[in-house]
Structure 1
């Protein structure tokens, strides 16, 4: 087996229009496809990430909430690489997104910070060296 890389991360939103706006307008991720799936009463939105990976954003009727943050079993957080963590943080704050303080990775020296998507999913912005 040979893994070529990450293909996608799937996220279920409690409020599809709000999450669509966050990932598309605020984070600037281009829409590749958006489909209404009648049999599931669900939207599926494919958003492009640089490098070829994707975020799949879904809506489902009455999805259960995330159990706890951030140490529940399963996906802990989504980490997105950026060129300048401080600039990304300033942009998000100016867009009305609450962000945690800028930190420094004790092992790599890289700057990073966390915010949350509209459903509280932790998103890390990690500055590439």
Structure 2
């Protein structure tokens, strides 16, 4: 069962400008910032007051969206779940194709991706029961 939204990921065209906007103008709290040299990319984790997060990514010369996975704009919508494997089984039993489960290198949490009927990328992100927000 879906438990809520964990984070929204955005790819920006100008990392410093976007970082300034989300942290200084909108006032989001920085949780973590990582430079991924192998991808020439930043990953900035920001927290909203309700505990939900926004992930801000940069990539060299991202193409305009709407469909490339590493393009400027909305990257994916992530839903928090208590059991990624159980939700994968639920989706696959209904004919939904799901990518292999991976482990986030920073948080050590399980996650995977699938698509909605319009090919919008969606993510399942495993949380602990104590992290439920309802």
Query: Which structure has more strand as a fraction of its residues?
Result: 2
Q: TM-score, normalised by structure 1?
A: 0.50
